[in-house]
Amino acid sequence: MMERPRFLKGWTDAEPGPAHPLRGLVLLVILLGLLFVGLQGWWLLTPAPAIASSKRVVEIPLHLGLLDIAKRLDAAGVIRSPMGFTLLAVVRGSARSLKAGEYEMPAGATTIDVLNLLEGGRVLQHAVLLREGKTLSELAKEIETEGLVRADELVRVGRDPLFLRALDIPASSVEGYLFPDTYQLVKGMTAEEILTKMIARMRERLTPDLVAAAEAHGLSIHELLTLASIIEREAIVPSELPLISAVFWNRLKIDMPLQADPTVQYAVGKGRQALTRADLLVDHPYNTYRRVGLPPGPIGNPGLPAIMAAVHPATVKYLYFVALDDRRHQFSQTLADHNEAVARYRLRPR
């Protein structure tokens, strides 16, 4: 039998050696790595259970590092993997530029969506409505309800002489200098920032024409806002604004007390509650039953129609008015007509 060449024997008859010990470990590591990447990818692309079907608000404080932000988001239940969030932020180059603030994570948001929000600083906007005639104290309660600033802090700043001087407000508070409007505010804004925003809006609305009209009537801006605030609180129906303005102007011209109930409510801190006879007799600078002329300052924050009415009163000779119902008034020129109207409308059985 022919013997196989030696070189063939070397290839076919060699004894099999032991398997390389690292080969299996490498394969295991690769498989685990692929599993890790796949799992992290799935976590990044699917919403966490807590926001799968409902939104959630999360606050990110200032000066938190990336890892602490990831932990906070995980604790709030809006991401599936803190590690995945951290790695994604590093890969995208936003690890050091995530914005602090209050965020509303929408229902169904993925980790990528959450990171997009923090990268763009798209913080939650709180719509706060300052209604015409509302006072600083009433606004402060609205602000506190939204969780933005404590009511007492907003009132304190609104009466702070240094703050008032910095904004060139010639009064003891910002009362009357805040323009009624809807404001988009965010958590983290200070009381100073909120009030400054509202004061700036008022100054935008006080156009040169309005200022000139006030000066033509002998009114400073402070006096204009004071008169407008009283008109605002007395009127309900917009069409009556110029009529009520005319009544007050006619009284001012003959040094007759304005006798405006809202000024007394402001003086005694009764808000919009009914006044007693004792309230009307109280000795207070804002009691226009006992003092002639305008009170020291606004009693609320007037809207633009009331400000316009203050410089454009109706051309009528009315000196009195009494409520017909919850919205309208009966106007009179003489005291006799007024007393008759009071007997007819105010004293009638309800």
111-164: per-residue pLDDT in tens? Answer: 999 999 999 999 999 999 999 999 999 999 999 999 999 999 999 999 999 999
Tokens for 256, please give them.
């007759």
Q: How far apart (Å, rounded) are the C-alpha atoms in residues 217 and 256?
A: 18
CA distances from 57 to 54, 60, 147, 322 (A): 10, 10, 13, 49
The answer as to whether 350 is a domain residue is no
Q: Using 50, 70 and 90 to split pLDDT, how confident is the model at 42?
A: low
Residues whose CB falls within 8 Å of the CB of residue 123, separated by 6 or more in sequence, listed in order? 99, 101, 102, 103, 186, 187, 188
The answer as to whether 344 is a domain residue is no
Q: What was the pLDDT predicted at 31?
A: 62
The answer as to whether 225 is a domain residue is yes
Which sign does the torsion angle of CA 270, 274, 280, 286 carry?
positive
The answer as to whether 343 is a domain residue is no
Tokens for 11, please give them.
């290839």
- Whole-model pTM: value is 0.80
Residues 213 and 314 in one domain: yes
Q: Using 50, 70 and 90 to split pLDDT, how confident is the model at 12?
A: very low
CATH number, residue 65: 3.30.1490.480
Residues 295 and 221 in one domain: yes
Domain hosting 151: range is: 126-205
Q: Using 50, 70 and 90 to split pLDDT, how confident is the model at 7?
A: very low
- From the list 55, 51, 47, the residue with the least C-alpha distance to 112 is 47
Residues 219 and 299 in one domain: yes
Tokens for 88, please give them.
């994604």
Domain count, the chain: 3
Helix (H) or strand (E) segment spanning residue 105 = strand 101-105
- Angle of helix 66-75 relative to helix 82-91, nearest 10 degrees, comes to 140
Give the amino acid at 49: P
Helix (H) or strand (E) segment spanning residue 70 = helix 66-75
Residues 140 and 200 in one domain: yes
Given 158, 176, 205, which residue is the final one in a domain?
A: 205
> Is the pLDDT reported for residue 8 higher than 50?
no
